[in-house]
Every structure is written in structure tokens, then in C-alpha cells.
């Protein structure tokens, strides 16, 4: 019997229930997210907040409607009764504080990845959300895309057999600028938190990490990691090799090798353009192409998932559960500690 990839089964974002969004931090990724809300016919941008009234007003004019409110503080968004859920898109260093503030204000939250700077902060957010009884999720949009849906089906069906090895990488060349966010340790800069979370989370989706076997890399003069390689031993007996960098453009790909077949995820890892399923002898058994490559077209799948969960009173995503966000944070803490030791 020949092997074949399943078809995507996730409902289209246009079918998602109504939800009024508030956005904290009108930066680039927030703009991509707001653009993606256009694919959700029943959802809208209700409010946006930043420390600048001008920035908020410009963002609301570009991405909202005539009723979208622009505020010059985050607290005003959290106090707006028309806002159902808050998307937190400020720099990493502000995620924990604003997420907990939003939760305490009774708002559901979608927190841009990484959820926080470390596992302790992530646990604080999780505890606050569970105590308050509101929805909270780390914005791991890769899981919610059609390509992520197909990967999940492949894993659930055990199509690959017993998983032996996972390889995932994400390197992107950023300008060397010690004054930028990406080089600032106080803002959560560096390869690990900014882009390394994608390959770490990819590995965690397949099997939780049991032990960090190795981590080494290069540090910048500002004290953040520039490139690193990590090797993990996983609960299912497999091993993972992870590479990430802010100083080189890597293949940005991944593969999962099993006893029966291998699944390749072609660039970019965060929104795979193509899946290739190979037989045990290396020949191609099947492939699928995907078109949701950009954040502007892809983040709508994430927003739609949040809307469905909240509508159905599901407070933790079954696709990106809070305990998995915590496990990913623990793994990244271990990698960071090893890199700092040199």
C-alpha cells in the first residue's frame, strides 16, 4: 500500500465566529495580524493601544473601521468593554506583565511568541489565566495553518512509524545593529527567543524534550546569542537537532525521520510551503504545496482558532496547550543557560 499525505481539515478562517479584538503594540507583526483579520468576516479590530496616540490612531485608520478606538495607553484597551480578546504584540520583555494585566481585567489573551522571557514568567501567566477562567494561548501560528494541520494528522496516524530523529532550523540574517531590539538583552533579543522558538516548538509538537544533550553557539558583544545548535533527547526516544541564527540565512526547513517514512517541511519552517513524504527507500511517495506563507495571509488561521475556542468556552487550545508552552519555555531556559556558560 502506497503512502499518502492527508488533506487539511481545519475550517477556513472565514467560518470563524464573531470576536472583537484589542491590540497592544502597533508594530509590524500587529499590522500583519490586523490585516489577517480581514479574512475573518465576523471578527474586527475594536481597539488598539500604545504609548503614542499618534501611532495608535494611524494604526486604527489603516487596519480598523470607523468604530475602532485608538488609545494612548494599554490600560485603556484593557478597560474597553467592547474588547473580547487582546493580542499582545509588544517586545518580548513586556509580554508577561501585559498578559497578566489583561487577564486580571477579564480579557482573553493571545500572546505573541515567545509567551514570555522564561519559564517562571510563563508559569505566572498560565496560573493567572487558569485562576481567572479566561482563554490564553501562545501565538504559535504554524500549528494552526493548513500545513500544520496536515503535519498533526501525519503524527497522529503514525504514518511515519516510530520517530527516530527530528531536524529543524531557522536562521535569518539581521543587520548588525547594537541599538536594535534584536540585539538588546533587556528586550529579549537574540536568536533563541526571536527565531529559535520555531524549531524548538516544532520539535516539541512531535515529542516533549526529556533532556538537553548539547547546546553551543556564538554570542554577540551585546550579550545575546547570535547562533546556536542544540541537541535534545525526547520522551518518545527520538533525538532533535536544532539550529537558529540571527547572523545567517539558513534553509529554514525541517524533517522528521521515522522507521517507515520521512516527512520534509520545505522553507519557511514557520509556514511550510511544501510537505514531501518519502518512502523508507527515499523515494517520494507524496507531496503537497501550501500558499499561506506570509503573516498577513496566515495569521487569520490563528485568530480563527482563538475565536472558535472562546465561542465554545474552551479556555485552553488543544493544538497549542499552555502546558506545552511551559515545556518549550523550560527547554529554552536550559539552552540559554548553557549558551551563557560558553
DSSP 42: T
pLDDT at 2: 80
Cross-sheet strand order for the sheet of 284-289: 209-219, 225-234, 239-245, 163-171, 254-258, 261-266, 274-279, 284-289
The per-residue pLDDT string of the chain (342 residues; one tens digit each, 9 = 90 and over) reads 589 999 999 999 999 999 999 999 999 999 999 999 988 889 999 999 999 999 999 999 999 999 999 999 999 999 999 999 999 999 999 999 999 999 999 999 999 999 999 999 999 999 999 999 999 999 999 999 999 999 999 999 999 999 999 999 999 999 999 999 999 999 999 999 999 999 999 999 999 999 999 999 999 999 999 999 999 999 999 999 999 999 999 999 999 999 999 999 999 999 999 999 999 999 999 999 999 988 988 999 999 999 999 999 999 999 999 999 999 999 999 999 999 987
DSSP codes joined into one string, 295-334: HHHHHHHHHHHHHHHHHTT--S-SSS-HHHHHHHHHHHHH
Residues 6+ positions from 66 with CB-CB distance below 8 Å? none
The domains found in the chain, sorted by start residue, are: 13-141 (3.40.50.720), 142-294+321-341 (3.30.360.10)
Rounded Cα distance between 116 and 114, Å, is 5
Which bin fits 50, alpha (ψ -120 to 50), beta or left (φ > 0)? beta
Q: What is the pLDDT of residue 1?
A: 55
User: What's the pLDDT score for residue 100?
Assistant: 98
Contact, 5 vs 262, CB < 8 A?
no
Could you tell me which residues come within 8 angstroms of residue 30 by beta carbon, excluding any fewer than 6 positions away? 23, 48, 59, 87, 89
CA distance 276 to 255: 9
Going by the DSSP 8-state scheme, the letter that residue 133 receives in this structure is: T
CB 336 within 8 A of CB 192: yes
pLDDT tens by residue, 149-167: 999 999 999 999 999 999 9
Looking at residue 219, its pLDDT comes to 96
Burial tier of 205 (Cβ tally within 10 Å: 0-12, 13-18, 19+): buried
Residues paired with residue 239 on neighbouring β-strands, in sequence order: 165, 233
pLDDT at 293: 85
Whether 304 and 317 have beta carbons less than 8 Å apart is answered as no
The CA-based dihedral angle spanning residues 274, 275, 281, 285, taken in that order and rounded to the nearest 10 degrees: -90
The answer to whether 85 and 306 are in contact (CB under 8 A) is yes
DSSP tally for the chain: helices H, then strands E: 11, 14
Cell of 250: 539558513
- The answer for residues whose C-beta is within 8 angstroms of residue 239's C-beta and 6 or more apart is 164, 165, 166, 213, 231, 232, 233
Count of Cβ atoms closer than 10 Å to residue 275 Cβ: 19
Model pTM? 0.96
C-alpha cell at 281: 527507500
| 169: enclosing H helix or E strand | strand 163-171
Amino acid at each position: 500500500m502506497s503512502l499518502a499525505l492527508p488533506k487539511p481539515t481545519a475550517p477556513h478562517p472565514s467560518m470563524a465566529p464573531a470576536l472583537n479584538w484589542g491590540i497592544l503594540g502597533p508594530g509590524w507583526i500587529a499590522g500583519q495580524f490586523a490585516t489577517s483579520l480581514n479574512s475573518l468576516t465576523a471578527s474586527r479590530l475594536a481597539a488598539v493601544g500604545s504609548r503614542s496616540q499618534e501611532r495608535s490612531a494611524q494604526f486604527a485608520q489603516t487596519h480598523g473601521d470607523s468604530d475602532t478606538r485608538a488609545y494612548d495607553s494599554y490600560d485603556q484597551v484593557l478597560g474597553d468593554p467592547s474588547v473580547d480578546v487582546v493580542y499582545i504584540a509588544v517586545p518580548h520583555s513586556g509580554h508577561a506583565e501585559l498578559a497578566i494585566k489583561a487577564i486580571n481585567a477579564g480579557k482573553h489573551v493571545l500572546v505573541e511568541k515567545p509567551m514570555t522571557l522564561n519559564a517562571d514568567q510563563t508559569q505566572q501567566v498560565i496560573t493567572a489565566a487558569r485562576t481567572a477562567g479566561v482563554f490564553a494561548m501562545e501565538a504559535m501560528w504554524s500549528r494552526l495553518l493548513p500545513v500544520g494541520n496536515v503535519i498533526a494528522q501525519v503524527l497522529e496516524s503514525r504514518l511515519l512509524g516510530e520517530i527516530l530523529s527530528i531536524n529543524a532550523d531557522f536562521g535569518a540574517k539581521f543587520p548588525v545593529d547594537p541599538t536594535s531590539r534584536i540585539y538588546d538583552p533587556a528586550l529579549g533579543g537574540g536568536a533563541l527567543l526571536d527565531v529559535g522558538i520555531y524549531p524548538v516548538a516544532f520539535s516539541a509538537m512531535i515529542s516533549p524534550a526529556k533532556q538537553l544533550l548539547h547546546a553551543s553557539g556564538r554570542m554577540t558583544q551585546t550579550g545575546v546569542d547570535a547562533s546556536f545548535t542544540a541537541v535534545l533527547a525526547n520522551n518518545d526516544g527520538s533525538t532533535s537537532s536544532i539550529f537558529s541564527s540571527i547572523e545567517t540565512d539558513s534553509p529554514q526547513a525541517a524533517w522528521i525521520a521515522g522507521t517507515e517514512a520521512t516527512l520534509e517541511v520545505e522553507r519557511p519552517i514557520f509556514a511550510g510551503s511544501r510537505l514531501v513524504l518519502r518512502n523508507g527507500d527515499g523515494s517520494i511517495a507524496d507531496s503537497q504545496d501550501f500558499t499561506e506563507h506570509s503573516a498577513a495571509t496566515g495569521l487569520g488561521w490563528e485568530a480563527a482558532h482563538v475565536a472558535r475556542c472562546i465561542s465554545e468556552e474552551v479556555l485552553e487550545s488543544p493544538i497549542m496547550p499552555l502546558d506545552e508552552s511551559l515545556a518549550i519555555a523550560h527547554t529554552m531556559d536550559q539552552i540559554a543557560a548553557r549558551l551563557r556558560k560558553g
